[in-house]
Amino acid sequence: MTKEKNNFLPLLFAVAFAYLTFGAITNVAGAIVPKIKDTYNVSGSASTLLASVFFIAYGTMSVPFGELINRKGKKFTLLLGSLITTIGVFMFATIPGYFANMSAMFICGIGITAIQVSANPLVKEISNPEKYTRNLTLFMVLFGVGSTIAPYIVTFIKAKGLEWNYIYFLFTAVSLIMFLSLAFPKYPQEKISTAKTTKSKGSMATLLSDPLMLMYALAIFLYVGVEVGIANNIGLFLEDFYNISDVFGDKAEGVKNATIGNYWFGLLLGRLVGGVVLDKIPTKKAIQIFILGAIVALGITLLTKNITVALWALPAVGFFFFFMFPSIYGLALETYDPEYAGTVSGILCSAIIGGAVIGPVITKVAEMTGSIENPNWYAGMIVAFACYAYIFTVGIWAKPKTEKAKK
């Protein structure tokens, strides 16, 4: 078995490159939100909505792509997702306009959803059993690397005198390479199901009627929403709240993009070093500890008058938040019998649609309580604190079957 799995090394490298690629495409949004606002002369909430519409695809397409895997296989779904992603980023680069960009962003989201839904289980199939956890962790690190470097690339493009949307020409080339790299390696043989069954539908109905399952889904909805929402609002927040352009002049955009990149690096750093600490702490307790850390970091950002402190506190928010998705996801799976695992996963992945909602809500509340020209970010960030408060309660009401659930 080990020898056979080693034959999939080229595919492992291709999948690793895919994680790096869709990490960059997914999380460049924060750096382009101020550009969308200025280019199309729209409000901050409208610009964050365009950037976050990407995540609507997760909510609407995760389950259908799971069914497509059952019928057509992981390779077909993975290549289809890569092709759709390439089309989406090319549309964004070549067709200007607010609604055209929004459509392109949604198409990108459809493609990335297909890639992620098919790549995650594929990693297990093509890894040696003793290296599966290592490989999946490494790929998530590569996703974090892509998320971290994407905002810096926006700054680099501006330094070259190019328009901000040129990053999507770069993404088009990278996505095409991703598609080709995934098309040619050897894949494991798959048994394609042709049987129609109502078991999954029954499981879905059973779980959706369980209030505890809905509470887990809401936790994922709010987690993804506030994680992405903070990132997508960093540029607007620093401009409105700290007048960063007056402080840094021509360097302001680079500082904003660096802060967004550092926010994602904070999550990446947390994943790299947090496992050592979390191995000693029960999952429910760790959720509460780290959420309190995120609350304190965001509170410092709002209360300090020193912009340098704020520029360090925002990445700290990301660092303390790294643990939430695998923890909530793991607790939900631990709560239900193994036969429900696939359905639980589908429901939780659909809840990722929160990434399309919370960011625009934060901005809209800030604008409604202040104005479009002078948003009230104190009020807007109350939305973020409310999300943190709910996630904190997961450490109270979660009911895993193991007494001491670990990350």
Together in a domain, 132 and 181:
yes
Residue 406 maps to a domain:
no
Residue 222 maps to a domain:
yes
Segments forming the whole domain that contains residue 395:
197-400
Each residue's pLDDT tens digit, 327-351: 888 888 888 887 777 778 778 888 9
Together in a domain, 146 and 168:
yes
Together in a domain, 175 and 231:
no
Together in a domain, 158 and 270:
no
- pLDDT value, residue 32: 92
Residue 158 maps to a domain:
yes
Together in a domain, 272 and 335:
yes
* Alpha carbons 229 and 361: distance in angstroms, whole number: 9
CATH number for the domain harbouring residue 6: 1.20.1250.20
Residue 190 maps to a domain:
no
* 88-97 contact pairs (CB < 8 A, 24+): 89/25, 89/168, 89/171, 89/172, 89/175, 90/168, 90/172, 92/165, 92/168, 92/171, 93/165, 93/166, 93/168, 93/169, 93/171, 93/172, 96/165, 97/40
Residue 407 maps to a domain:
no
Q: What predicted TM-score, i.e. pTM, was given to this entire model?
A: 0.86
Q: Domain end: 138, 158, 185, which one?
A: 185
- pLDDT value, residue 168: 96
Position with higher pLDDT, 396 vs 347: 396
C-alpha distances in Å from residue 164, one per residue of 154, 359, 395: 6, 21, 42
Together in a domain, 148 and 229:
no
Together in a domain, 149 and 29:
yes
- 279-299 exposure pattern, b = at least 16 Cβ within 10 A, e = fewer: eebbbbebbbebbebbbebbe
Residue 192 maps to a domain:
no
Residue 191 maps to a domain:
no
By the 8 A CB rule, do 325 and 224 touch? yes
In the predicted model, what is the mean pLDDT of the chain?
88
How many structural domains are present in the chain?
2
Q: Domain end: 185, 212, 228, which one?
A: 185
Cβ contacts of 299 within 8 Å, gap of 6 or more: none
Together in a domain, 74 and 155:
yes
266 pLDDT band, cuts 50/70/90, is: very high
Together in a domain, 164 and 251:
no
* Alpha carbons 50 and 158: distance in angstroms, whole number: 21
Together in a domain, 56 and 176:
yes
In the predicted model, what is the mean pLDDT of residues 384-395?
96
Residue 87 maps to a domain:
yes
Together in a domain, 176 and 205:
no
- pLDDT value, residue 341: 72
Each residue's pLDDT tens digit, 121-141: 788 788 776 676 667 778 888
Out of 94-103, 177-186, 308-317, 397-406, pick the least confident: 397-406
- pLDDT value, residue 175: 97
In the predicted model, what is the mean pLDDT of residues 46-50?
91
Q: Domain end: 151, 185, 219, which one?
A: 185
Together in a domain, 207 and 134:
no
